[in-house]
């Protein structure tokens, strides 16, 4: 089997990722002073970012997961399906959606609209990466670690057909 890691061009080294997540964690702590955050991690890709983010935060959290899917290979379809719903009631809670990347924006728009129907007190969104130029629908992102160009990324949770999630840096796949 050929090695996916060797085909990647490094975009962000792990130290750089951790440093930036630390800055965002600090900002979140400031914004949520005295509150508890219901963190909703979007499976599977955002697990990696979620762990590093919440471990750097001082604000108490409760962790939930949700899974939706819109992707086949490297092209977003805009067809979102719910694969795993929440396990608890989020009404009246301060919700922070933690997602790996915002690309077209369809996934986060769908998620935010769905979560809004469950009557949380507030909803904010944190993403590791933002491919701004690819946006096809309007969605406000509250916390962004890095903005990137339109390149397909792999590693640190990002997969290509489910492979490469545990590569410790974020790299681009030049196809
Ligand atoms: P959106 O609905 O187009 O914003 O797509 C968001 C989803 O597409 C993310 O949750 C990722 O799973 C996936 N995705 C978008 N770009 C990439 C990428 O460069 N690498 C890996 N997955 C990606
Ligand atoms: Mg995803």
Note down pLDDT in tens along the chain; length 175 residues.
569 999 999 999 999 999 999 999 999 999 999 999 999 999 999 999 999 999 999 999 999 999 998 755 555 667 898 999 999 999 999 999 999 999 999 999 999 999 999 999 999 999 999 999 999 999 999 999 999 999 999 999 999 999 999 999 999 997 6
- Listed in sequence order, the residues at least 6 apart from 157 whose beta carbon sits closer than 8 Å to its beta carbon are 44, 45, 46, 47, 48, 49, 100, 128, 165
* pLDDT, tens digit (0-9, with 9 covering 90-100), for 11-27: 999 999 999 999 999 99
Catalytic residue at 103? yes
Whether ligand 1 lies within 6 angstroms of the CB of 102 is answered as yes
Tokens representing residue 129 in the block: 């990466």
Whether ligand 1 lies within 6 angstroms of the CB of 46 is answered as no
- The closest residue, in CA terms, to atom 12 on ligand 1 is 45
Whether ligand 1 lies within 6 angstroms of the CB of 76 is answered as yes
CA of 85 to the centre of ligand 1 (A): 19
pTM of the model: 0.95
* pLDDT, tens digit (0-9, with 9 covering 90-100), for 58-76: 999 999 999 998 755 555 6
Say how far residue 112 (Cα) sits from the centre of its chain: 13
Distance CA 101, CA 170 (A): 12
Architecture of the domain delimited by 14-151 = 3-Layer(aba) Sandwich (3.40)
């Amino acid at each position: 089997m050929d090695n996916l890691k060797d085909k990647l061009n490094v975009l962000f080294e792990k130290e750089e990722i951790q440093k930036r997540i630390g800055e965002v964690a600090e900002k979140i702590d400031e914004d949520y002073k005295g509150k508890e955050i219901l963190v909703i991690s979007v499976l599977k890709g955002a697990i990696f970012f979620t762990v590093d983010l919440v471990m750097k935060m001082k604000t108490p959290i409760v962790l939930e997961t949700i899974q939706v899917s819109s992707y086949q290979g490297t092209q977003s379809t805009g067809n979102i399906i719910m694969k795993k719903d929440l396990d608890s009631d989020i009404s009246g809670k301060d919700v922070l959606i933690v997602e790996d990347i915002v690309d077209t924006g369809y996934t986060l728009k769908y998620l935010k609209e769905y979560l809004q129907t469950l009557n949380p007190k507030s909803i904010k969104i944190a993403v590791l990466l933002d491919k701004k130029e690819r946006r096809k629908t309007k969605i406000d992102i509250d916390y962004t670690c890095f903005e990137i160009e339109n390149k397909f990324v792999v590693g640190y949770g990002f997969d290509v057909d489910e492979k490469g999630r545990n590569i410790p840096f974020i790299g681009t796949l030049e196809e």
